[in-house]
Amino acid sequence: MALSWQTLHNLEKEYGDSFFILDLRQFENNYKEFLQGFRSIYPNTNLGYSYKTNYIPKLCQTVHSMGGYAEVVSQMEYDLAIAIGVPPTRIIFNGPLKQQEDMEKAILAGSIVNLDCLEEVEMVEALAERLPEQKIAVGLRCNFEIDTTRISRFGFDVAGGELDRAFKRLTALNNGSVDGLHCHISTAARSTESFARRTQKIIELTDHYFKDKQPRYIDIGGGFYGKMTDDLKSQFEGYIPNYQEYAEAVASQVKSKYPDNSGPELIIEPGVAIVSDVLNFVAKVVGLKTVRSRQIALVVGSIHNVKPTGTDKILSLRVYGNDENSARRKLAGKVDIVGYTCMEHDCLYKEYSGEIGIGDYAVVENMGAYTVVFKPPFIRPNPPIISYDSIQNEYTLIRRGETSQDVFSTYVI
Ligand SMILES: Cc1ncc(COP(=O)(O)O)c(C=O)c1O
């Protein structure tokens, strides 16, 4: 996204002094490139985009128009998928909390529903008994050890026999079946070796449980690294694989298991990997002060806009200066760029080195994952989102800024 102070200033006049800019074409390119890597090795691969990572409807619609699944983990996200025209059969319903009614509707409508716990197995048993003529098919999320740093809470424990119990109970139903196995391992280990191990494990489990009939799908989940600047890369331990390297780690194993292209559908569920580099956050510089040895620039944004998950990574930030007004008040040297909240920790960037002046714009890059979906309306309502089309060179509003009324509309006043 080629930005300049003038472009940002024009956008400010139209949309206000802080906003997100979404690069939809970049998202489309990421989606195609990621999926193509897998399909070039194992053609029967499909992508389910993780809505919770960033559910801006324009992104979700783009996924749908390119043939992807909606991967949702709540009824709220399920409702969004339906609202933008995704048919239930193109929705994957995951996550640890599915209300009975929601889960039943999704199963009956033909969505892929991956169960997470025995309580959900019980709900499926109750449904199967209530509707004996109806075929009830679900998937199971598997929990196996990939790295030893933490014991995951999600899915059925393989080693302890829970997966086995769930599988047997479901296949014992006259009208029940297990269609596929799912795993999503959320760990700092996003290496290709880790993905190769996940794939190997899920293939082993598939071999064990689907002796007579091959599963409809194998779902390997998400958890891949996305594209990032060298600065950001250097803050992670180990090598950051690219899309093709992930595809080789996963799809080649599925291909060797099912060489003749009639194998199960391979599903991948990236969020971060395809969305993180498609959103920038822009905040105008509105105040400067020096307090003893500390230089401070106040922007119309907050740590909650850019790091709502509390990541300790140093984000990539650029300041677009208004060089036409060289007389503007400025600071130079090490400047802390702080936000509008009343919290001391609200610092978007510590010790920025360079000039920064009133009326400049601070642009934080790589904001696509867990920003707009995570930020509460703490102190200020949420800013607008503008979509940028790099082919047409056009900016369009895709979410207006929230108003005070929006924030308080659900309270009894
Ligand atoms: C079930 C499931 N699939 C996919 C994802 C996407 O993960 P990521 O954004 O790390 O690719 C998540 C995120 O936690 C998830 O829980």
Q: Per residue in 61-87, pLDDT tens?
A: 999 999 999 999 999 999 999 999 999
Task: Judge if 294 and 269 occupy the same domain.
Answer: no
Ligand 1 binding pocket includes 17 (Cβ within 6 Å): no
Ligand 1 binding pocket includes 370 (Cβ within 6 Å): no
Q: 71-75, 218-222, 284-288, 321-325 — which is least confidently predicted?
A: 321-325
Q: Which residue has the tokens 């956050």?
A: 281
Please report which confidence band the pLDDT of residue 150 belongs to, taking 50, 70 and 90 as the band edges: confident
Asked which of 274, 300, 321 is the last residue of a domain, the reply is: 274
Indicate whether 324 belongs to any domain. Answer: yes
Report how far residue 75's alpha carbon sits from residue 78's, in angstroms, rounded to the nearest whole number. 5
Residue type, 213: K
The enclosing H or E element of 14 equals helix 5-15
Task: Judge if 70 and 129 occupy the same domain.
Answer: yes
- pLDDT tens digits for 84-137? 999 999 999 999 999 999 999 999 999 999 999 999 999 999 999 999 999 999
Please report which confidence band the pLDDT of residue 148 belongs to, taking 50, 70 and 90 as the band edges: confident
Angstrom distances, CA of residue 377 to CA of 380, 392, 404, 406, 407 = 6, 33, 9, 10, 7
Task: Judge if 241 and 339 occupy the same domain.
Answer: no
Q: Is the pLDDT of residue 272 over 80?
A: yes
Please report which confidence band the pLDDT of residue 261 belongs to, taking 50, 70 and 90 as the band edges: confident
Task: Judge if 9 and 44 occupy the same domain.
Answer: no
Indicate whether 110 belongs to any domain. Answer: yes
Indicate whether 408 belongs to any domain. Answer: no
Indicate whether 405 belongs to any domain. Answer: no
Report how far residue 303's alpha carbon sits from residue 350's, in angstroms, rounded to the nearest whole number. 11
Distance 95 CA to ligand 1 centre (A): 10
Average pLDDT over every residue of 125-151: 94
Q: Is the pLDDT of residue 17 over 80?
A: yes
* 3-state secondary structure (DSSP) of residue 189: coil
Ligand 1 binding pocket includes 186 (Cβ within 6 Å): yes
Q: Which among 143, 139, 162 is positioned nearest to 152, based on CA atoms?
A: 143
Q: Residue 272 CA: which ligand 1 atom is closest?
A: 9
**Residue 189: predicted pLDDT:** 79
Task: Judge if 145 and 223 occupy the same domain.
Answer: yes
Indicate whether 412 belongs to any domain. Answer: no
Q: Is the pLDDT of residue 147 over 80?
A: no
Indicate whether 315 belongs to any domain. Answer: yes
Residue type, 320: Y
How many other CB atoms are found less than 10 A from the CB of residue 283?
26
Indicate whether 406 belongs to any domain. Answer: no
CATH number of the domain encompassing residue 309: 2.40.37.10
Instruction: Give the DSSP letter string of 343-387.
Output: -TT-EEEEEEES-EETT-EEEE----SSSTTT----SSPPPPEEE
Structural domain span for residue 96: 24-274
**Residue 403: predicted pLDDT:** 97
How many other CB atoms are found less than 10 A from the CB of residue 184?
23
Mean confidence (pLDDT) of the chain: 96
**Residue 115: predicted pLDDT:** 98
Ligand 1 binding pocket includes 154 (Cβ within 6 Å): no
Task: Judge if 219 and 351 occupy the same domain.
Answer: no
Report how far residue 245's alpha carbon sits from residue 247's, in angstroms, rounded to the nearest whole number. 5
DSSP state of 287: E
Indicate whether 411 belongs to any domain. Answer: no
Please report which confidence band the pLDDT of residue 227 belongs to, taking 50, 70 and 90 as the band edges: very high
Task: Judge if 300 and 167 occupy the same domain.
Answer: no
- Rounded to the nearest 5 percent, the helix, strand and coil shares of the chain are 35, 25, 45
Question: Given ligand 1 and candidates 115, 269, 373, which is best to mutate, with the most ligand atoms within 8 Å of its CB?
Answer: 269
Asked which of 242, 257, 274 is the last residue of a domain, the reply is: 274
Please name the residue ranges forming H helices in 135-185.
162-171
Report how far residue 22's alpha carbon sits from residue 317's, in angstroms, rounded to the nearest whole number. 16
Task: Judge if 161 and 282 occupy the same domain.
Answer: no
Asked which of 255, 274, 293 is the last residue of a domain, the reply is: 274
- pLDDT tens digits for 163-207? 999 999 999 999 999 999 999 998 777 999 999 999 999 999 999
Please report which confidence band the pLDDT of residue 149 belongs to, taking 50, 70 and 90 as the band edges: confident
Task: Judge if 40 and 56 occupy the same domain.
Answer: yes
CB 373 within 8 A of CB 54: yes
Ligand 1 binding pocket includes 51 (Cβ within 6 Å): no
Let me know if 319 is exposed, middle or buried by CB neighbors in 10 A (0-12, 13-18, 19+). buried
CATH number of the domain encompassing residue 77: 3.20.20.10
Please report which confidence band the pLDDT of residue 1 belongs to, taking 50, 70 and 90 as the band edges: confident
Ligand 1 binding pocket includes 190 (Cβ within 6 Å): no
> Sign of the C-alpha dihedral, residues 268, 272, 273, 279?
positive
Q: Which residues pair with 92 in a beta bridge?
A: 71, 112
Angstrom distances, CA of residue 54 to CA of 252, 301, 368 = 29, 19, 7
Please report which confidence band the pLDDT of residue 310 belongs to, taking 50, 70 and 90 as the band edges: confident
Task: Judge if 226 and 334 occupy the same domain.
Answer: no
Please report which confidence band the pLDDT of residue 385 belongs to, taking 50, 70 and 90 as the band edges: very high
Q: Percent of the chain having pLDDT more than 90?
A: 92
Distance 223 CA to ligand 1 centre (A): 6
Distance 165 CA to ligand 1 centre (A): 25
Average pLDDT over every residue of 145-153: 84
Report how far residue 229's alpha carbon sits from residue 315's, in angstroms, rounded to the nearest whole number. 10
Average pLDDT over every residue of 22-34: 98
Q: Which residues pair with 118 in a beta bridge?
A: none
Q: Which residues pair with 139 in a beta bridge?
A: 114, 180
Task: Judge if 71 and 96 occupy the same domain.
Answer: yes
The total of structural domains in the chain comes to 2
Task: Judge if 145 and 247 occupy the same domain.
Answer: yes
**Residue 67: predicted pLDDT:** 98
